Amino acid sequence: MSTRKYDIKSLPGFLPITILCLVVLYAPLVVVTLYSFNDSTSITIWEGVSLRWYADVFNGPESTKFKIAAWNSFSIAIIAATCATTIATLAATAMIRGGRFRLRTVSFGLISLPLMVPEIVTAVATLIFFNSIGFTRGYTTILVAHIAFCIPFAYMPISARMQGIEDTYEQAALDLYASKRQAFTKILLPLMMPGIISGFLLAFIISLDDFIITNFVKGAGVETLPTAIFGSVKQGIKPNIMAISTMLLALSVLMVTISYFVSKKDNTK
């Protein structure tokens, strides 16, 4: 290749903008994390490092509320992510390993429906639906709504993974007189594990993250962490909220990091 005086790929000013971009993305999170360790009842003045607001979250006057909200959030996220991942895995098997069929496009449209419909519209629709069939709003309605909108998030990494796996492994098993069921459970599922795990983790985070739909379909008195935080923030940002936020933030970062490394693992080799 001829050598040129300048690098054709690099455009001037793009590095500073990239750095600016990262600063804008991370600065608010870093600042909130730092201030959650502030030993002051004011959120403005820095009075040294302390864990008092973390202690306040677990033992303070609002601790009961937060504990119940955390229990609701985590139990819903685990159940919803498990159901959504199972449903998405089965659907992906039909979509990727089921040949061509008439309803394939329609099925794909239905699976991606929660991604296309604005979240607030899904929230309104779900509230109206439960109201019209006379179902009392509460824990169950939140759970059911979460299972539904988590499906596409679980489906995406799972179907991407399945597309990347040649079906020769299953064909080989079938040639050796394995049943279809055995080919699925003994060959395809183990190969799919990284995709299934990252699908589960993404669904889990999406469920834990949700505010709008939960806010609409929750009954009076049932709170998840986001709705409890929102209610509290309405009266101003308090230090204990920053402590909770930091813990949730750390959990999300941890789970996405696990998802990243798991999905990079290639176990077909």
Partner 1 sequence: MAAGAASGGSSQSDTYKEARGWLLLPAWAVLGVFVLAPVLMMLVYSFLTKEFRGGVIWEFSLGAYDQFFCNRGLFGDEPCSIEWTYINIFWRSIWQAGAATILSLVIGFPTAYFIATRPEKIRPLWVFMITIPYWVNLLIRTVSMKFMLRDQGPLNDFLISTGLIDSPIHIINTNFAVQLGLFYSYLPFMVLPIYASVERYNFNLSEAAADLYASKWVTARRILLPAVKPGVIAGCVLVFVPSLGSFLAPDLLGGAKNFMIGSLIEEQFKGNAGNWPFGAAASMVLLTMVLILLVVFARQQARAEKAQ
Orientation angle between helical segments 239-264 and 14-36, nearest 10 degrees:
130
The count of C-alpha atoms lying within 13 angstroms of the C-alpha of 265, restricted to the half-sphere facing its C-beta, is: 16
Among residues 3, 10, 136, 235, which is the contact residue for partner 1, using CB under 8 A?
10
Q: Give phi and psi for 50, each to the nearest 5.
A: -160, 160
Using CB under 8 A, which of the segments 47-55, 63-71, 169-177, 191-199 binds partner 1?
169-177
Q: Find the binding residues for partner 1 in span 137-166 (CB under 8 A).
A: 144-145, 147-149, 151, 162-166
Counting residues that bind partner 1 (by CB under 8 A) gives 104
Q: Does 111 bind partner 1 (CB under 8 A)?
A: yes
Smallest gap from Cβ 194 to partner 1, in A, equals 15
Q: Does 269 bind partner 1 (CB under 8 A)?
A: no
Q: Find the binding residues for partner 1 in span 223-252 (CB under 8 A).
A: 226, 229-230, 233, 237, 241-242, 245, 248-249, 252
Rounded-to-integer distance, Cα 265 and Cα 260, Å: 9
Q: Find the binding residues for partner 1 in span 50-79 (CB under 8 A).
A: none
Rounded-to-integer distance, Cα 262 and Cα 237, Å: 36
Q: Find the binding residues for partner 1 in span 174-213 (CB under 8 A).
A: 174, 180, 183-184, 205, 208-209, 211-212
How many angstroms separate the first and last alpha carbons of the chain?
36
CA 95-200-168 angle, 5° bins: 40
Our CB check for partner 1 shows the closer of 18 and 75 to be 18
The DSSP output letter for 47 is: -
Smallest gap from Cβ 24 to partner 1, in A, equals 7
Smallest gap from Cβ 193 to partner 1, in A, equals 17
Q: Are 181 and 254 in contact, with CB atoms under 8 Å apart?
A: no
